[in-house]
Structures are given as C-alpha cells and as structure tokens.
Chains A and B, each alone.
Chain A
Amino acid sequence: MSSVDLSTTLGNAWFPAPIFTASGCASSGRELSQFFELHSIGGVVTKSVMSKARHGRPTPRMAETPSGMLNSIGLQGPGIDAFLEKDIPFLLEKKARIIVSIAGETVEEYSTLARKLRGVSGISAIEVNISCPNVENRGLVFACDPEASRRVIDGVRRTIGGELPIIAKLSPDVTDLVHIAKGVVEAGADALALINTVLGMVINVETMRPQLANKTGGLSGPAIRPIAVRAIYQVHAALPKVPILGMGGVASGRDAFEMIIAGASGVSVGTASFGNPNAIPVIQNELRDLLAAKGFSSLREAIGYAHRIEVSDGE
C-alpha cells in the first residue's frame, strides 16, 4: 500500500480520508455498513432531514438514463427528532464521522433544524441542502436565487453559532454559480458542496407520458460528471480559499482525482454506490494509488492542481 496522506479539512472539520457518501445515497448508514466499515471512509453525509417525517413522492421515482439515472424521491425521511434518536447513535456507535444534511421548505425551517443540531455531539459539519424544491419559493429552488440562498445560510449561521462548519449545497442549474457561491460564503458558509443533481426528464415512449410520477427528476451518475468538474473548477478559481466537497458522477479513483485537481478538498459518491455497494472504499483506494503514482505525498498537494500557472521552459 502506498503511503499518501489522505487527510483533508472542510472548514475546521478534519477528516482522515477524502471520500464521503453523498447525501440521499446512503439512507441511514446501516445499509452500507453491511458492506464496509463506515469509519474507514471520510464520513457519512446523511440523507437531508426535515423538521417533520415525510412520505415523499409516489412511484415511479426513478428512471435509468445513459450513464446515469433520474430520481425524484421528494425527501422521504423520518423527521429530525426520529433521526436524532435513531440514526445518529448508530453512526456514532460505528465511529463514523457525520455530516448532517438538512433541508427545509422555508428559511425558518432551516434555522429550526440548525437549533435542534446545536447541542448534538459527534457531528463534524452541517450540509445545508438549499438545492431541493420547496414551497416557499413556489416550486423553485433556494439555490437558484442568490438572495434566498443567502437568507437560508445567514439564518443557519446565526442559530448555530461559530463552531460547526456549514457546507452549502448548490445546484448547477443556474446562470452564474460563482455569484451564488460568493453570496453564501459571505452569509457564513465555510464550505460548498458541488453539485446537486441536474433537473431532467424522461418520457416513456410506450405510454407517451413522463416516466416519473413527479414528471421531472434529478439526473445523477457519470453523465453529469463534466458539469460537476466545470462547476468545481469555476468556483475554486473564484474562491480558492473556500473548501469544496465535490460530487456528481464519481465512479472511480480517477474521477475523484479529477475533482480534487479541479479544486475539491473531498469527494462524495452517490449513484456509484447504487451500482456497487463497495464503490466508496474501492474509489478511496484507487485515489490513494493514483495520487502516489502521480507523485503526490498528500491529498492536500493535489487540491486545485489543475489551476497551476503554466511555467515556460525558461531556458
């Protein structure tokens, strides 16, 4: 085994390894812990939790697409109280590092969720998922509106105080991602999660109607990886000091490495775990070997390496 220092940081949170689950792609953590030790990876980003239990959307909830899939789950979940009572103790027992993802329908709901998390020990960071559909913005997404994005992050920051890192999860479905990223960082986000799924649709040509019950869904998988790499690269160029948790179609160590050199400090894996329950530890090992093969002694040296200034031969 190669000796590469894989440790990384997101805000003031330190992680011994850089590969994480992606929010909404690891359920409670129990399901994947059958296949690998949760403490062996960077951490578990939990499914976005809301104030109350939710049934989510009707089926069909998914459609496979070329090198990807559409999903529309509708944030099915147990609600914050049951989540804190059942899921957090399990993850702590497994010695997993935990990033709790929260989602709200209103600015106030995000603050309420942050208040519930304030006193919970063992959490490394909070992911604020502002890139999910919501009611207050009439079916739009907070992360598509710079002002709404700011207000959510500002509310969470004020509630949570200065300790716990806030990771704002942004949508790629915007005209000026850098503008939105700057706004949430000014409002108090310590790090950014890039990218959430890309809005898409599949029409069933037999029924001649949209395949998903919700009509539209979020596209994930390798099909969106170039969009994610572009987003990470652009935001890292504009905000080089802000750590990025990169995600979007990572299925191999090579893909994770691509996101790291684009500017990500850590990488989340989602859809790849659907195809392979051991994807995360496999990707982490491949990344370690690739870093060593490229001559890096630490992950940190590789972050943003694709941005290095061209040095002419100069002789």
Chain B
Amino acid sequence: MSAINRNAQQIAAAVVSNKRVGQYHQLIVNIGDAANHCKPGNFVAINVGGDTSRMVLRRAFAISRVSANSISGGTMELIVAPYGQGSSWLCSQNEGAMLDVVVPLGTAFGIPTEPVQVLLVGGGYGSAPLFGLAEVLNARGCRVDMLLGASTASKIYAPMEGKRSVNSLRIYTEDGSMGQAGRVTDPIKALIDDMNIAVIYSCGPMAMLSAIDSLTRGTDVIHQCAVEESMACGIGICMTCVLPTMGSDGVISMLRSCIDGPVMDGETVLWDKVGKAL
C-alpha cells in the first residue's frame, strides 16, 4: 500500500503578496521546497482565523500555480473567493503574514504521455488550477483549448498571462456580460464531435462536472474532473467529503474526495447518487 499524501507537510508559510482580481484575491504564498512536490490538481489546507479563532477546521484551496524558483523561494498561487468567514479572513492577510499550511494534498490531474488534443473547462474560480495545468500540458506538446464560464463577468477568472499557454479561450456568462451568453457546457458536444479531443479536464461546481460527464460517458473521451465536497480535515481522517463511486470492478464505494480526489475519473463518480443514500 502506497503512503497517503506522501509529500504532505505542515509548514509555516509567509504571504508574499495579496492582490484583488475581480471578485477574487490572488495570494502568493512562500512554501519553499514543498513547491517542488505540487502538481496541478493538488490542494492545500490552511488554518484560518488565528490562534483564538472559533473556526476549528482548515479551509481547502486548489493550488492554481507553483513557481519553484521565484525570488522569494518556492511559491504557490491561490485564487480565493471571500465568500465565507474563513476565506474572507485569508483574503485579509497581507504581505508578510504567516499561514499554517498543509501542502500538497490530494490527487493530481493525469497528464497524457502523448501530445494529444485536450479541452479544459472551468466554472467560476474553478478555472484557477486549469492555467497551471495548461502550462504542463503545453510543455507536453498537447493542443490546449479552454472554455470558462460563470454566472456573470466579474466571476470569470482569466488572467492575461494564463492565456499564453492555451491555443484558444472561449468565455461564457449566463447573463451575457462577458463572452458569449450561455453555459460553458453548451459547446462541448460539438467540440467532441468536431475535434479529436482525447481528454477533458474540468474544475468547477458539481453540476457542471456532472453535465460534462453526461456528454463524455460512453465516449472515448476521458473526463478528469476536480470535485468539490465540503471537508473538515483535508487529509483523509474525517470521512465527511465522500462521493459515491463505482470502480471498474463494479464495486460501489464512498470515496474521500480529499485523498481519492480531488481529481477523479468522471466516469467512476455516480453523479445521480451524490447526496443520496446508497
């Protein structure tokens, strides 16, 4: 049995910078050598609220990008939406603030061994880890097309520099305030039919992941999705973040999205059983 989270470590990490980007915050955090072990899809668990906080659980954030050789040592980038008390606290941390971070956690996106054609689909700030993934896929020689969607323009996360590593980027908003009006999943069927897409990588709300699965299930297209379920620990001990899955052997099990995910093969997830008793 291989060790779980073999490279994970708990470290004190300094905030290098904190910038507001639309409705989100971009945090750069110095994680030193741990950056060498982070792969696209991995996440971090961060203590929030300080020592006297009444928030006892860590908050999990996808790592959007790492830089192993920046001036300040190894760093990671997080894109954080200040929606809840914990994420708001994190977004209020300024340069120099120290964070208690467990990194890296969870499974990473699988990278094709051949330079195949891939489609990246992001919903809201779920697009963040896709730009780091695009860089890796690009280096592998893959053709990388990207679709981003959100309810409205201010919830689209699409940094200028990120666009360099994709061959094309299309944006969809439900209210039509940016890009085309509609859902990000609308063009996928046609793209699968017209292009020779081998893998779809997705990150965003569960409803979006499920909708993509319904388009790829039964086809040759592999769907690698980063799932989200509320979790208490991030390291596999609390059993709260489970998803119903069926393995290739037909065995149904509740897998932890923190250690058996967040990246899962979409075809293994029993989407219609999520939140229901097995």
Contact = CB atoms under 8 A, between A and B. Distances in A.
12 contacts: A25-B237, A25-B238, A32-B237, A33-B3, A34-B3, A47-B239, A58-B275, A58-B276, A59-B275, A62-B232, A271-B232, A274-B232
B268 to A, nearest CB: 15
A173 B278 CA distance: 29
A64 B238 CA distance: 13
A34 B8 contact: yes
A47 B236 CA distance: 13
A189 interface: no
B47 interface: yes
Contacts of A33: 3
What interface size band does chain B fall in? 35 or more
Nearest to B236: A31
Interface stretch (A65-73, A106-114, A298-306): A65-73
Interface of A: 24-27, 30-35, 47, 55-62, 64, 66-69, 71, 73, 76, 90, 213, 221-222, 251, 271-278
B36 interface: no
A27 B237 contact: yes
Given A25-B237, A27-B237, A276 B10 contact: yes
Given A34-B5, A55-B254, A275 B57 contact: yes
A69 B232 CA distance: 9
Contacts of A76: 239, 242, 254
Given A26-B237, A31-B237, A55-B253, A274 B242 contact: no
B1 interface: yes
B10 A62 contact: no
Contact of B10 (A222, A272, A278): A278
Given A34-B4, A71-B232, A90-B1, A275 B58 contact: yes
A272 B229 CA distance: 20
Contact of B235 (A31, A60, A71, A272): A31
B274 interface: yes
B5 A271 contact: no
A40 to B, nearest CB: 16
B237 A69 contact: no
Nearest to A25: B237
B12 interface: no
A57 to B, nearest CB: 7
Contacts of A55: 244, 252-254, 277-278
A287 B13 CA distance: 26
B240 interface: yes
Contacts of A272: 56
B263 interface: no
10 closest Cβ pairs, A-B complex: A274-B233, A31-B236, A62-B240, A55-B278, A61-B240, A67-B54, A274-B232, A27-B237, A66-B54, A73-B239
Interface string B157-200: 00000000000000000000000000000000000000000000
A30 B1 contact: yes
Contact of A27 (B6, B236, B278): B236
A26 B237 CA distance: 5
Contacts of B102: 277
B55 interface: yes
Interface in B1-51: 1, 3-6, 8, 10, 47
Max chain B CB contacts within 10 Å: which of A60, A90, A221, A275? A275
B261 to A, nearest CB: 13
